């Protein structure tokens, strides 16, 4: 049995309580909305692209619409990709997704979410912010939902 | 209180261990577990009586038809239907309501008409009416709720001033547990000239229901929330209304004669039962009704209300817990939030202790917006739950508080 503390690691509880880059970004030139209709989680993601680099990034979750896993995951994601080239961010997304699908741990702090693997109903929560990022970088204006993205 | 030790022994799934603990199943508003009597009825039907109904010329087919029609009689008795011909078998509440919208609604609602629903309705009693109104150019009017989670009778009266064609409301709210004054609501709607549709998904399993006393026109129920198989359910209607209504699904069984270019329809209720029906679901529903009738619906209701009251008291002792819904006139549904712990996280943490609750919007997004929450946690009780289950719930909620550092 996987212990709850493996899911709710300290770094996750910390980022849930004090999410980083938790702001609307007026300078954003890319935006995306993510939606998990099953549990009502919603995220607004703002990206300021400077050429090929993620110059700044921010996210918001409407009042009460982010569980600890989705909020902490989005928060850690913003830290991980800020200042990184788009290609590198997409590689991280792939590594993160692979980890949740049962693969090896993603690099750095993102490995904190390895415990989510043992909680299949929560994988969509962890992926939500990343899918929004992917949509923002693709510059597709459509909101992404955990139900429409086939590989969630 | 019911003899839960005896009842629990009738439910094989409750023997299951969850992470080394007994299964504490508190998601009964979503679906109920099934007693051996119901499971055995399904097996017995397939072992001994299976054939297609209403068309066989042999003994086996007659037996299957008898079992199916006996189930109709059982449902009619259970809710005191106007007549057994007024019981149409469906896949459940959702299909029952869609049947009314697709048949009565399409025939009687037109441009400029109004259909009334309430802000505490389940999506299944909202979306079919939205689809109908959009198709017909009619207006959907949603009645507001009061702060303590009841239908706002002042706004209800205002909505009735529009002389709606149809008024739909839930007998019991799946998100709040509110037991609505269905007979009063129906009387007011009739006085305004409307027909009434009662969503009985959450009342049929838990209360003594008498549709004639409610004096509604349509009453929808699901079997799977009342011990019966998934895919079992019924629409209970005034026979005179069913007679006037056009068919819902075309196909075999629902016709009288078929010419090259047109058909005439079978008698009610068969007019609305096109295609081979889910006979084993009906048989299972009859077995479930028999089980509930043995317990007595008054005893069922009293048991659940006692559990809900105890759960509300015990949860309210925890600093930061907020319980939604009215203080009285409520069924065994207890929705709550806990500090800033998201209900989804609560449900995961409770699951580790074998406690199954629902977290989310409970298919009532308009209601959630009015409550100002994205989601709630919901514990809902049934005949096999007892105070030990409440202890497990409260202990697990406290554990979540410690993990998330909710100030005690």
> Which structure tokens are listed for B310?
């105890």
A152 occurs within a structural domain: no
Please name every residue paired with A144 in a beta bridge, in sequence order, or none if there are none. Answer: A34
Residues of B in contact with A17 (CB under 8 A): 405
Domains held by chain A: number: 1
CATH of the domain at A126: 3.90.1010.10
Is B365 exposed, middle or buried, given 0-12, 13-18 or 19+ CB atoms closer than 10 A? middle
Residue A150 lies in a domain: no
* Contact (CB<8Å) B352/A38: no
In the residue annotation, B133 being an active-site residue is answered as no
> Which residue of chain A has the CA closest to B406?
A17
And the tokens for B222?
């699901």
| A62: confidence class by pLDDT, cuts 50, 70, 90 | confident
Q: How far apart are CA B68 and CA B236, in angstroms?
A: 16
Average pLDDT over residues B12-32: 94
Q: Candidates 3.40.50.300, 3.40.50.960, 3.90.1150.10, 1.10.3720.10; correct CATH number of B4-27+296-404?
A: 3.90.1150.10
Q: Is residue A151 part of a domain?
A: no
Instruction: Compute CA distances B222 → A13, B235, B405, whole Å.
Output: 40, 9, 40
How close, in Å, is residue B143 to chain A by CA atoms?
A: 23
**Percent of chain A clearing pLDDT 70 (strictly above):** 89
Query: Which region among A106-110, B168-172, B278-282, B354-358 has the lowest average model confidence (pLDDT)?
Result: A106-110
Chain CA centroid to CA A39, Å: 16
pLDDT band at A43 (very low <50, low <70, confident <90, very high): very high
Q: What is the pLDDT of residue A143?
A: 64
Q: Which residues of A touch B340 (CB under 8 A)?
A: 64
The predicted complex's ipTM stands at 0.87
Domain assignment present for residue A149? The answer is: no
- A118: domain range? 4-144
A31-40, A120-129, B22-31: lowest mean pLDDT where?
Answer: A31-40
Check residue B247 and report its DSSP letter: P
B405 with A4: Cβ contact below 8 A: no
What ranges do the domains of chain B cover? 4-27+296-404, 50-293
Cβ neighbours of residue A93 closer than 8 Å, sequence gap 6 or more:
A130, A133, A134
- Residue A37 three-state SS: coil
Average pLDDT over residues A91-111: 93
pLDDT of residue A147: 56
Task: Report chain A's mean pLDDT, rounded to a whole number.
Answer: 89
Cβ atoms of residues B338 and B406 within 8 Å: yes
Fold of B50-293: 3.40.640
In a domain, A65, yes or no: yes
- Give the separation between CA B148 and CA B69, rounded to whole angstroms: 43
Q: What percent of chain B has pLDDT over 90?
A: 94
Q: Which of A145-149, B15-19, B314-318, B346-350 has the lowest mean pLDDT?
A: A145-149
The per-residue pLDDT of chain B, averaged, comes to 96
Give the largest Cα separation in chain A, rounded: 47
Instruction: Establish if A64 touches chain B: CB-CB under 8 angstroms.
Output: yes
Give the pLDDT score at A3: 80
Summarize the confidence of residues B344-348 as an average pLDDT: 94
- The rounded distance, in Å, linking the Cα atoms of A69 and A64 is 13
Average pLDDT for B51-64: 92
């Amino acid at each position: 049995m996987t212990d709850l503390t493996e899911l709710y690691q300290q770094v996750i509880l910390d980022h849930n309580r004090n999410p980083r880059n938790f702001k609307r970004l007026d300078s954003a030139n890319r935006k995306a909305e993510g939606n998990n209709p099953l549990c009502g989680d919603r995220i607004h993601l703002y990206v300021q692209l400077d050429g090929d680099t993620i110059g700044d990034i921010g996210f918001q979750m409407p009042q009460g619409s982010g569980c600890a896993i989705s909020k902490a995951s989005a928060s850690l994601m913003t830290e991980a990709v800020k200042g990184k080239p788009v290609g590198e961010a997409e590689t991280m997304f792939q590594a993160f997704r692979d980890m949740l699908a049962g693969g090896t741990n993603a690099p750095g702090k993102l490995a904190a979410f390895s415990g989510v693997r043992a909680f299949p109903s929560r994988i969509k929560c962890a992926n939500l912010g990343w899918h929004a990022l992917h949509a923002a970088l693709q510059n597709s204006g459509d909101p992404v939902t955990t139900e429409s993205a086939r590989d969630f | 209180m019911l003899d839960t030790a005896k009842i629990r022994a009738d439910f094989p799934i409750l023997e299951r261990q969850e992470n080394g603990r007994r299964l504490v199943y508190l998601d009964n508003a979503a679906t109920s577990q099934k007693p051996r009597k119901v499971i055995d009825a399904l097996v017995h039907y397939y072992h001994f009586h299976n054939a297609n109904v209403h068309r066989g010329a042999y003994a086996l087919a007659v037996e299957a038809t008898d079992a199916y029609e006996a189930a109709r009689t059982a449902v009619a008795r259970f809710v005191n239907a106007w007549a057994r011909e007024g019981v149409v078998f469906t896949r459940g509440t959702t299909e029952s309501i869609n049947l009314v919208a697709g048949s009565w609604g399409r025939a009687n609602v037109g441009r400029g008409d109004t259909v009334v629903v309430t802000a505490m309705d389940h999506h299944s009693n909202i979306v079919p009416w939205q689809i109908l109104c959009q198709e017909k150019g009619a207006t959907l009017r949603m009645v507001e709720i009061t702060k303590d989670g009841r239908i706002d009778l002042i706004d209800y009266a205002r909505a009735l001033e529009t002389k709606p064609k149809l008024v739909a409301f839930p007998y019991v709210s799946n998100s709040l547990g509110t037991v609505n004054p269905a007979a009063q609501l129906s009387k007011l709607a009739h006085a305004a000239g409307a027909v009434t549709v009662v969503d009985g998904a959450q009342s049929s399993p838990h209360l003594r229901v008498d549709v004639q006393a409610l004096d509604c026109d349509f009453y929808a129920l699901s079997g799977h929330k009342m011990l019966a198989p998934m895919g079992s359910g019924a629409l209970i209607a005034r026979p005179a209304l069913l007679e006037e209504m056009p068919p819902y699904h075309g196909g075999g069984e629902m016709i009288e004669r078929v010419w090259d270019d047109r058909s005439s329809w079978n008698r009610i209720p068969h007019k609305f039962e096109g295609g081979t029906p889910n006979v084993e679901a009906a048989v299972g529903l009859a077995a479930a009704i028999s089980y509930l009738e043995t317990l007595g619906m008054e005893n069922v209701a009293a048991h659940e209300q006692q559990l809900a009251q105890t759960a509300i008291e015990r949860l309210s002792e925890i600093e930061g817990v907020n319980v939604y819904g009215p203080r009285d006139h409520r069924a065994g549904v207890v929705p709550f939030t806990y500090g800033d712990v998201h209900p989804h996280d609560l449900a995961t943490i409770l699951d580790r202790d074998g406690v199954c609750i629902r977290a989310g919007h409970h298919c009532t997004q308009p209601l959630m917006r009015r409550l100002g929450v994205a989601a709630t946690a919901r514990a809902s009780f049934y005949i096999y739950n007892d105070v030990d289950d409440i202890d497990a719930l409260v202990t697990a909620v406290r554990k979540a508080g410690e993990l998330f550092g909710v100030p005690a």
